[in-house]
Amino acid sequence: MENRWGKMLALMGLLLLNWVSNVSSLSVTVNEVECVYEYVLYEGDTVSGNFVVVDHDIFWSSDHPGIDFDVTSPGGNTVHSLKGTSGDKFEFKAPRSGMYKFCFHNPYSTPETVSFYIHVGHIPTEHDLAKDEHLDPINVKIAELREALESVTAEQKYLKARDARHRHTNESTRKRVIGYTVAEYIMLALASALQVVYIRRLFSKSVAYNRV
C-alpha cells in the first residue's frame, strides 16, 4: 500500500511538474491579419488571455476604431470573437484539444502594435489518470491555486500593457502641447508681420499715389 501511494505521489508530482506554462506578453505588429497558434493539451482546459492595442497613431480622433479578434478551434469553428475593440480580456473553455488559432484583424491601413498574452490552464481531473489510480485532492487544490496565481499574473500583464498605451498617449500630449504652442506663437508673429507689410504696401507710392 505504501509503495503504491509513493508511486502515485511521484506520478502526481510528475504530472504537476509538467507545468502547462504560458508565454510572456509579446507584442506583434498587425498589418492586416496576424495569427498566433497555441496548443491546448487537454479538452476542457480554460484558455484565458488578454490583448491591448498599444500603439495607435490616430491623429485627432479620441476613439480608437479597434481591431477584431477571433479564436478558431482545430476543427475550424470560431470559438470566441471580439469586434472593434482596442483591448480586452477573454476566457473560454476549450471544446477539444489541439492547435488553436488566435487571429487579430486590422481593418484599417495603419499598422497597429498589439500586445497579447495567452494562457492555457489545466486542473487535473479523473479523466487524466488510469483506471486504477485515484486523484489526490491536494493536487487538485494546488492546481487551482496555481491557476488563481496565473490569473493574477495575467491581470498584471494586462495592466502593464494598458499602462504602456496610456504612457504613449501622455508622451504624445506633452509633445503636442510644446510643439503646437511654439508653432502658434511663431504663426501669430508671422501673421502680424504680414499684416504690417501689407498695410505698408497699400500706402506705398508705387501702387497709386494717395489712392487709399
For other proteins, the binding residues in 30-89 under the rule CB under 8 A are: 35-41
Q: Among 52, 65, 55, 51, which Cα is nearest to 113's?
A: 55
Residue with smaller CB distance to other proteins, 84 or 199: 199
Residue 151 engages other proteins in binding (rule: CB under 8 A): no
Of the candidate residues 93, 134, 166, 201, the single one contacting other proteins (CB under 8 A): 166
SS (H, E, C) the chain: CHHHHHHHHHHHHHHHHCCCCCCCCEEEEECCEEEEEEEECCCCCEEEEEEEECCCCCCCCCCCCCEEEEEECCCCCEEEEEEEECEEEEEEECCCCEEEEEEEECCCCCCEEEEEEEEEECCCCHHHCCCCCCCCHHHHHHHHHHHHHHHHHHHHHHHHHHHHHHHHHHHHHHHHHHHHHHHHHHHHHHHHHHHHHHHHHHHCCCCCCCCC
Please tell me the count of residues contacting other proteins according to CB under 8 A. 73
Taking the complex as a whole, the smallest distance from the CB of residue 121 to other proteins amounts, in Å, to: 10
* Cα separation, 125 vs 139, whole angstroms: 10
* Cα separation, 117 vs 138, whole angstroms: 28
Residue with smaller CB distance to other proteins, 32 or 84: 32
Residue 22 engages other proteins in binding (rule: CB under 8 A): yes
Taking the complex as a whole, the smallest distance from the CB of residue 3 to other proteins amounts, in Å, to: 7
Neighbours of 48 (CB within 10 A): 20
Residue 201 engages other proteins in binding (rule: CB under 8 A): no
Map the footprint of other proteins across residues 97-116, applying CB under 8 A.
99, 113, 115
Of the candidate residues 107, 125, 145, 201, the single one contacting other proteins (CB under 8 A): 145
Of the candidate residues 109, 152, 198, 209, the single one contacting other proteins (CB under 8 A): 152
Of the candidate residues 18, 77, 78, 81, the single one contacting other proteins (CB under 8 A): 18
Taking the complex as a whole, the smallest distance from the CB of residue 67 to other proteins amounts, in Å, to: 17
Taking the complex as a whole, the smallest distance from the CB of residue 6 to other proteins amounts, in Å, to: 9
Of the candidate residues 3, 61, 62, 109, the single one contacting other proteins (CB under 8 A): 3
Residue 208 engages other proteins in binding (rule: CB under 8 A): no
